[in-house]
Amino acid sequence: MAFSVDHAARVTKLSKSRLTRWDKLGFFSPEYSDEADSGNPYGRVYSFNDLVGLRTLALLTDKYGVSLTELKKVAPELEKRAARPWSDLELAVVKRKVVFDLDTAPRDADGQLIGKFIPLGPIATEVAADAGSLRSRDSAKVGLIERLPFVSHKRPVLAGTRIPAVAVESFLNEGYSNAAIIAEYPSLTRDDIAAVRNYMKVAA
Q: What does the pLDDT average to over 60-72?
A: 95
pTM equals 0.67
* Residue 83 burial (CB count, 10 A): 8
Task: Read off the pLDDT of residues 129-187 as tens digits, 9 standing for 90 and up.
Answer: 888 776 667 788 899 999 876 555 678 889 988 788 988 999 999 999 999 998 888 88
The SS3 call for residue 49 is helix
Domains (ranges, CATH) in the chain? Answer: 5-132 (1.10.1660), 139-203 (1.10.10.10)
Q: How far is Cα 190 from Cα 63, in angstroms, rounded to an integer?
A: 38
Q: Which residues contact 49 (CB under 8 A, 6 or more apart)?
A: 31, 84, 87, 88, 183, 184
pLDDT at site 138: 77
Task: Read off the pLDDT of residues 73-107 as tens digits, 9 standing for 90 and up.
Answer: 999 999 999 988 999 998 999 989 999 888 888 88
The SS3 call for residue 161 is coil
